[in-house]
A and B are shown apart, each in its own frame.
Chain A
Amino acid sequence: MTVLANRYDFAFIFDVANGNPNGDPDAGNLPRIDPETSKGLVTDVSLKRKIRNYVELARGGQDGFHIYVEEGAILNDKHRQAYRALRPGDAKVNKDAKLNPKDDAEARKLRDFMCLNFFDVRTFGAVMSTGINCGQVKGPVQLTFARSAEPIMPLEISITRMAATNEAEKKQRAEGSEEGPERVDNRTMGRKYIVPYGLYVAHGFISAKFAERTGFSEADLDLLFEALANMFEHDRSAARGEMAARRLIVFRHDSALGNAPAHALFDRIEIGRNVEGEFKAIGNNPDTLSPARAFSDYIIRVDQDSLPAGVEIIERL
């Protein structure tokens, strides 16, 4: 387990077809949208949830890959293996730690224990109340909101269900029906929202210095990228439609502090529309372009030329 020694910045590009990537609780579960630009949004916490779920599926029950912030629906009732208790002699030290008025040592021990056992604490951090003060673990991985490359156009689709929820509802329908009892059906109307197509970009940052503190290792980094690449494959549902991870472009710095500003690196990634094989920048398009409906309507260019010294591009997808 080598702890990470390099700074990484990454751009994660994914798309959705006929689905709702992230509903907005304020807008009756409409796809999130930036009201000023009409571009779609997917929150950082939504992506983190999927990463956690994937790790839970891929490494369920393994030492050191437990997930602290769980969804109850995950098959977690498997008997967890008892794990190697960390340095058995420490339990006594813990009891003695009460003599220590500051309790800092003990708080550190608790934090280390959490980081050692839980992948999500090691990766994203967690807030722990230690009674004295709120010990915080800042995780090395920082994700931002994903934003769509172009404005999205959410559609509201009305659907019907051929069943009533309960007896009372059925009766009420029968009485309210004008054509008499022989024309009774138990239909309920519902609605779902979809984005016909949207291509989203999220940026992520990984701090080597915070990785030192939580023990986030090279293997963890691999798992994180694996999760990003595969998490939508295990997040299928009626609401999501077809979501897919399209590109994962990683900038690896050869030092812990980094060798170039992150925003300058992200600016090297250009997303444009595919017009008969030609790259066309997304700008204030005159409405001559038909709306994008597939990944093939886009071209993603990564400027590989004259990279800053000490930065390399790794394309994980």
Chain B
Amino acid sequence: MAYGIRLSVSGDNACFTRAELKVERVSYDIMTPSAARGILESIHWKPAINFIIDAIHVLKPIKFQSIRRNEVGHKAPAGKIKTAMNRGSLEGLQLLVDEERQQRASTVLVDVAYVIEAHFVLTDRAGPDDSVGKHLDMFNRRAARGQCFHQPCLGTREFAARFSLLPAGQPLPKAIDETRDLGLMLWDIDHKAKDRPSLFFMARMENGIVRVPAPGSPEVLR
């Protein structure tokens, strides 16, 4: 990649929830490509560009911890909001947490650090004045100064991510010395298709580095 981006991110905790374990959340062993894309998009994104994640480097040993919290098992029903709008009163439009309470445990990662390697492609919504170079410059400028659209997070918003840009030419920090299969992992969610199906890939960590298959490649499983 002549013009890739390399962003280092770290934090005290992270939770990249497994697609099959959502209620009592259990995190994947490492950051998913979909979460990495979300982090990049929180720094700079326009509909004209798409981020493609090439690799994820794992810089710290994989450790888990369990946290149980009181959560609410409920969403705001649109019907009720509409009724309140039409009636012109907020009566009955609230959520009583002690009646909707669910205690759920999350198994989260502890003390994580990654390097995200990625590049851009232009989408069909790119205008005449969109170029890869322009957006790459914008991204690099923002990331180097610590600017962001909103503070990126490691899976869920209570786990904020520290991020810093690794300038081109600077050697990458050393990944952990571990090679293993991570099994079937979420690659990303297909937001264009009906019902937004999840796409998966067989993740394998080679000396701490997970290569991510390109979009449309046969390794991406539906």
Chain A residues within CB distance 8 Å of chain B = 7, 9, 24-26, 32, 34-36, 41, 43-45, 49, 66-73, 76, 80, 82-83, 85-86, 90-91, 94, 107, 109-110, 113-114, 117, 126-131, 134-135, 138, 140, 142-145, 147, 203, 205, 207, 209-210, 255, 257-264
Contacts and interface: CB of A to CB of B under 8 A. Distances in A.
Given A26-B68, A68-B76, A128-B76, 20 more contacts: A25-B70, A25-B103, A26-B67, A32-B67, A45-B69, A86-B85, A90-B85, A113-B84, A129-B77, A138-B150, A142-B151, A142-B158, A145-B159, A205-B150, A207-B149, A257-B148, A261-B162, A261-B163, A263-B162, A264-B146
A114 B150 contact: no
Contact of A261 (B12, B84, B164): B164
A14 B160 CA distance: 20
Contact of B96 (A71, A134, A207): A71
List of 9 A-B pairs having minimum Cβ-Cβ separation, nearest first = A261-B146, A207-B150, A205-B151, A257-B147, A263-B162, A44-B158, A26-B68, A85-B88, A128-B76
A109 B89 CA distance: 16
B4 to A, nearest CB: 21
B98 A73 contact: yes
Contacts of A83: 88-90
14 contacts: A35-B65, A36-B65, A45-B69, A49-B97, A68-B94, A94-B82, A131-B79, A142-B160, A147-B12, A205-B150, A205-B160, A209-B150, A259-B147, A261-B162
B103 A127 contact: no
A43 B78 contact: no
Interface of B: 12-13, 63, 65-72, 75-79, 81-82, 84-86, 88-91, 93-99, 103, 105, 110, 142, 145-151, 153, 157-160, 162-164
A205 B147 CA distance: 12
A36 B110 contact: yes
Contacts of B159: 144-145
A130 B75 CA distance: 10
A68 B91 CA distance: 11
B90 A70 contact: no
A132 B84 CA distance: 19
Contacts, number: 152
Contacts of A67: 94
B153 A142 contact: yes
A24 B97 contact: no
B90 to A, nearest CB: 6
Contacts of A203: 160
B95 A70 contact: yes
A232 B199 CA distance: 45
